[in-house]
Structure 1
């Protein structure tokens, strides 16, 4: 390695960065010219796949291939990455009839992939290649040969894979996005493969997962009862509110800490019946609503509790803003 390091100014560093980015932009622009019916045919093959989409590639192509496989898997296309070197020593057994193989090699001449092709052909596995052009062993062997075009690498030596790997990644993303549209893949589907993340919690968590459900423990009081009794009910319930019902146990209102403060400012008496101080027609949600949507209802109405009602208008539970925030719902 040469020790003849150059001392660049900050302006020169910035200039080289912009030049590199512009070089990669040119590679992406060239890639768009390569998108034709071959791309659509590749999508058809993947959509018809009864097994998994197996992605393989050596070196930097392999690193990009791992990301492409991960993107497929998280957007509704079962997929995994197979290292071509390890494949020749047993991992090829992971590939079975019904799978599709996407092989990446910028030159189209990867020796490691070459050794796999006889087995791939014998199994009758469709092969999609991604390479610079249609020359080379790999695109000739492929059922569909996708090409990137002859772009210049951002590396000043035009050697290190830079623009070519960016174009490969973009092509993989384009395939994944096209398949998302074709499969009508939804945000709920996405959440099912990302349950541990913040997005998964937001999309999967329902009100019923967090609500207080034991009716015998919920703070409930008849509308004819005095405020004094309601205060004891609220204190025992520890939810900052009480539900007000009529003689038939139908919900007619709620009484919250906020109602209490406003009532005290008006000088209400402890003997005041609840129907005079409650908030009538309280906001409510169903237990199947997304927890994040319930939080939006609270925020929009500046409230910190919601009743959970069934289709017949009967009280099922109570959920509070603290329940939602403690569960990481945003």
Structure 2
């Protein structure tokens, strides 16, 4: 084996991508009612989806199981070799098995067929050969046949594994849509990620409450209101009447505009300078929704109200600290 340092690497990459694109495009012509039947088997499954496959097919199977599990279909991967040495105990008659093998004749996978038949566990196969033992043994067969591998030797699993992965994605998304799976459902499967924070956090989880809320009255002078704004550090203050009802807000931006107009900070009152039509939000609103409100209105803070009472303030900085942005 000799290395050619003048090799056309970009040309090779373009060829690989083109061949795999063609492989994916060819899948559409392979679709039959077996795909719908496979989806029905999984939707009616009382247990879990068990995915198995050997070698590169196993790697793809592991990814398919992970995608199913994160989109509302409980699933896990079992290595077929380990299944023959004890892990068959992880599979029950209430489960559905998805078995992957490009040839459809991989020994480690086909050796499980008699056991699955005996347990009456439904089998879905993903192979590149509809006439293979695995395809014929399955209740539903998904055809992942490709014209050629992207590998120039037509040996290394490349186009075929890509096709199998796409079929797994097609299954997962079809099931997701059939279940009415929502963004919030997805977030519950990903509570530690930024998506989980965006979809699960509510305004009440990050808002400032109690003594942290800046409050002045309509009679308060601008100079005294500035002291309240500075001490609370939120870049704004609420203006409330004696009954605790929200009358408006005053922000750093309002301060700059007041100074530009030559307002006397010692004599001007909040009643004269406040914004009476301020934006408010409910404490049970998702933080991501509140963020959208701030972005669309080009503001940096929202007053949080509950049954007409001011219960908090949430700012753009709070969104940033919570990882919502």
In structure 2, what is the equivalent of residue 116 of structure 1?
112
Moved more, 149-158 or 77-86: 149-158
Measure, in 1, the Cα distance between the counterparts of 2:238 and 2:18: 63
Asked if the contact 1:308–1:315 (Cα under 8 Å) also holds between the matched residues in 2, the reply is yes
Q: Name 1:227's counterpart in structure 2.
A: 222
In the alignment, which residue of structure 2 is the partner of 1:4? 2
CA deviation vs aligned residue, 1:167-201 (integer Å, no higher than 9, x gap): 11111111111111111111111111112222222
- Distance in 2 between residues matched to 1:112 and 1:252, nearest whole Å: 73
Q: Distance in 1 between matches of 2:116 and 2:292?
A: 52
Q: Is the 8 A contact 1:103 1:130 kept in 2?
A: yes
Q: Distance in 2 between matches of 1:92 and 1:182?
A: 30
Could you say which residue in structure 1 is the equivalent of 2:88? Answer: 92
Q: 1:269 to 1:64 in 2, by over 3 A?
A: closer
Aligned positions, number = 324
Superposition deviation, residue 16 in structure 1 = 2.5
Question: Mean alpha-carbon deviation: is it higher for 313-322 or for 292-301?
Answer: 292-301
TM, length-normalised to structure 2: 0.94
Note the residue ranges of structure 2 that are not aligned, 5 or more in a row.
none
Which residue matches 2:177? Answer: 181
Partner of residue 208 from structure 2, selected from 209, 212, 216: 212
Aligned to 1:38: 34
1:282 to 273, 278, 282: 278
- Secondary structure at the aligned position of 1:309 is classed as strand
Matched, 1:254 2:249: yes
2:146 and 2:163 in contact (8 A); partners too: no
Equivalent pair of 1:133/1:150 in contact (CA under 8 Å) = no
Query: What is the distance in 2 between the residues matched to 1:4 and 1:274?
Result: 81
Question: Alignment partner of 2:30: what SS?
Answer: coil
Q: How does 1:1-330 map to 2 (within 5 A)?
A: 3-9=1-7, 12-214=8-210, 216-265=211-260, 266-310=262-306, 312-330=307-325
Distance 2:132 2:161 in 1: 18
Q: Give 5+ residue unaligned stretches, structure 1.
A: none
Tell me if structure 1 keeps the 8 A contact 2:130–2:136.
yes
Kept in 1: contact 2:50–2:96 (CA 8 A): yes
- The 1:258/1:29 distance shift into structure 2, 3 A limit, reads closer
Cα 1:135–1:8 shift into 2, 3 Å: farther
